[in-house]
Each structure stands twice: as C-alpha cells, then as structure tokens.
Structure 1
Amino acid sequence: MARFVWAFPFLLLAATAQAQQGQRQDPGCARDVQRFCRAQMNDGDMVILACLQEHRAKLSKTCAKALADNGR
C-alpha cells in the first residue's frame, strides 16, 4: 500500500508530462482522473484513489490494470 501511495503522484506527473508532449499513448489514469474525479483533483492522492476505486467499473483498461497491479 505504501508503495502505491508513494508511486501515485509520480504516475500522475508522468501522465501529465506525456499529455503535454502531445503523445498519443494512454497515460495511465490521468484521463480517468480528469473524467471521473475532476472535482477531487486538488484534494490529495488518497482522495483521488478513493474516487477511482468508486468508479472502478468505468475505468479504462490501462487504469484498472495500474490499480490492480498496485494492489488496489
């Protein structure tokens, strides 16, 4: 759990950097965070994680896999 909490901000930063560079790759959960958790984006990583878990059934395959790979 601690490993995921520590890595989550870096996943978001990497996703943001890819989006800013105009890459067409799916940047993990960034798109899902913007879609489902926009109101919570400034509330911290754990709030965003809880939001993603609430919307698990609607998440992209990439984001769902990232959560599953990190024990979420």
Structure 2
Amino acid sequence: MSKIFLSVALLLTFGLTTTMAQAQGQSHSGTDAEQRACARDVSRFCRQVIDQGDFTILACLQQHRPKLTKACHQVLLSHGQ
C-alpha cells in the first residue's frame, strides 16, 4: 500500500513538465489527501503497471478516466492532467 502512495506522490510531482516546474521555481507533490484520493484507483486499474514508472501510471489513470472516482479525477484535473 505504501508503494501505491509513493507512486501517486511521484506521479503528481512529475505531472507538470520539468520546464513548468523550473519556471515556477517549485515542485508540486501530492498532498496526503490527494494520494488517498487516487490510491484505490491506482490499485484497482493500474496494479499491473505500478512498477513501470510514474508516467506509465499516469497514462493508465488517463486511460481509465471514465471509471476513476470523482476524487481522483479531480486530483488529475487540479494538476493539469
């Protein structure tokens, strides 16, 4: 379960492009609440790719967007995804 939280946090951290993060002078990581909001969806829909990196998990969540919980969908939207 902690691996899922870490993956979601890293996913949200790298959700912005490197250029945007550098331009803003800060990096964004998911809050505990954001991590909890998507942990179930990552576990449910993306378990098979959880070891393949954050961008793969992001792509998986995007592919399953219609099935995501409202909370996780909102997290993705709030990070420009």
- Tell me the TM-score normalized by structure 2: 0.61
2:40 pairs with one of 28, 31, 39: 31
Distance 1:34 1:42 in 2: 12
- Tell me the TM-score normalized by structure 1: 0.68
CA RMSD of aligned residues (A): 2.3
Residue identity over aligned pairs, in percent, reads 44
Give unmatched runs, 5+ long, in structure 2: 1-15, 22-26
**Aligned pairs, how many?**
57
Partner SS, residue 29 of structure 1: helix
Runs of 4+ in 1 over 4 A off after TM superposition: none
